[in-house]
Amino acid sequence: MRRMLGKVRRRVEHLARHARDRSRHGSIRSSSPARGRVAVFYGHDRIPTLDEPAHGGTIKFQQLQRAFPNEPRAFNVLYLGSSARPLDSSALLRLARARGAAIVLNQNGVAYPGWHGPGWERTNEPLAELLRAADHVIYQSAFCKLSADRFVGEPRGGWEILHNTVDTELLTPGERPERPLTLLLGGTQYQRYRFESALRAFELVRAEVDARLIVAGRIAWHPDTRRAEREAAEHLERNGARDDVVLTGAFTQRDAPALYRRADVLLHTKYNDPCPTVVLEAMASGLPIVFSESGGTPELVGDAGIGVPAPLDWDHDHPPPPEQLAEAVLASAQRRAELATVARARAVERFDLRPWIERHRKLFAELSE
C-alpha cells in the first residue's frame, strides 16, 4: 500500500510540474525580450532570499541577482548552473534560442564512475546538452574544466575559468573567545564517508586536546533525509561523541557569519570537490582549512590551510585517512593565527564578490550586444 501511494504521489507531482512548465513556457513565448539593457533569467521562476537555505548553484544566483534581478519573462540572457539545472532546461534552451537570447553556463562538477557508479553517462547527458548550447561557459575551477572535457565534452563557444565567490563584507573574522578547539564540517553531506571521516578524525583530535565538532548543512546521503539524519545521530551515540558534536542542519546565508565565528578550523573531507563555496566562506571568516588535496579545493586554499594528499582517480573515490586529517588539524591549530590571516587575505584578494559581479556585467554586455 505504501509503495502504491508513493507511485500515485509521484505521478501527481509529475503532472503538476508538467502543467506549471507548460504555463511558464507559454508566458515566455508570449513575452518579448528586453531591449537596450541586460535582463537575466536563472532558469527558475524564483530564487531563494538570503534568509532561506540554499546550496550549490543557487547561492551564485542569490549573489548575482543583487546586480541582475531574475527576469523569467523579459530575459535576453539565460544563465544556467550545472548544479542547479531546471528540469525543463531543454525547453528553456529552445525558447532562449527562439528569442535570440545569449546562453551562459556556469559549469560545476560532472558525473564520473568513481562517485556516481553505473549510469554516469546518462546523468551527464543534460549537462552535455547545456555545454553544446552555451555561447559562453564559466568553469568554476581548472578541475571543473578538466573533468567536463573528459566526461561531457568541450565547449563550442567561449569559455573561461572563474572561481566561485564570497561576500567578504558579510563574512568577516570575529573575536575568538576562550573555548575548546572547534572544528566545522560544512556543506551538504551527500556522501556518508565525508561525515564518518570527519568524525573519526575528530575523535583522534579529541584524544589530544579539548575539542568540539560542528556539523552544519543537510545530511543527505540517503534519499530519505530523515533516515540519513537518524543514522548520523546513531553513529554519534555509538562513538560516544554525542555531547561534543553539534548537528545544526541547513543554514542560510544570513546565518553564515555567526556560524563560522563559532569555529576555529574548517574540516573539508570531500574528495574531488569541484569548487566548494563553503571553503571560500570559511576563508573569508578567517578559518584555516584542512582538506582533501584533490579536485578544485587546492586552487582555492593555496597556503591558507593544510591538505591531505590524494591521487587523481576517476574510477574510485579516496576518502582522506582520518589519521592524516587529525594530524593536519592539530598542525593547523598550532598555526591558527598565521593561517587565519592568510585565509582572510586570500579570500579578499582572489574571491571577493564585487570583481566577480563586474566580470559578469562585462560578459553579459558583450553577449547581449
* DSSP per-residue codes, 4-42: HHHHHHHHHHHHHHHHHHHHHHHHHHTS---SSS--EE-
Q: Are 331 and 291 in contact (CB under 8 A)?
A: no
* Residues 148 and 230 reside in one and the same domain: no
CATH of the domain at 195: 3.40.50.2000
d(CA 307, CA 322): 12
The identity of residue 45, as a single letter, is D
**What per-residue confidence (pLDDT) applies to 4?**
52
**What per-residue confidence (pLDDT) applies to 228?**
61
* Residues 359 and 331 reside in one and the same domain: no
Mean pLDDT by 10 residues, the chain (369 residues): 51 58 87 94 89 76 92 96 92 96 97 94 96 97 98 95 96 93 89 88 95 85 66 64 77 88 97 96 98 98 98 96 98 97 98 97 91
CATH of the domain at 67: 3.40.50
- As for how many domains the chain has, the answer is 2
Question: Minimal CA–CA distance to 363: which of 64, 44, 43?
Answer: 64
The identity of residue 99, as a single letter, is R
d(CA 317, CA 225): 22
Q: Are 84 and 59 in contact (CB under 8 A)?
A: no
Residue 171 lies in a domain: no
Let me know how long the chain is. 369
**What per-residue confidence (pLDDT) applies to 218?**
77
User: Hey, how many other C-beta atoms are within 10 angstroms of the C-beta on 323?
Assistant: 12
**What per-residue confidence (pLDDT) applies to 80?**
96
What residue has cell string 573533468? 147
Residue 16 lies in a domain: no
pTM score of the predicted model: 0.91
d(CA 54, CA 225): 16
User: What range defines the domain where residue 128 resides?
Assistant: 33-165+352-367
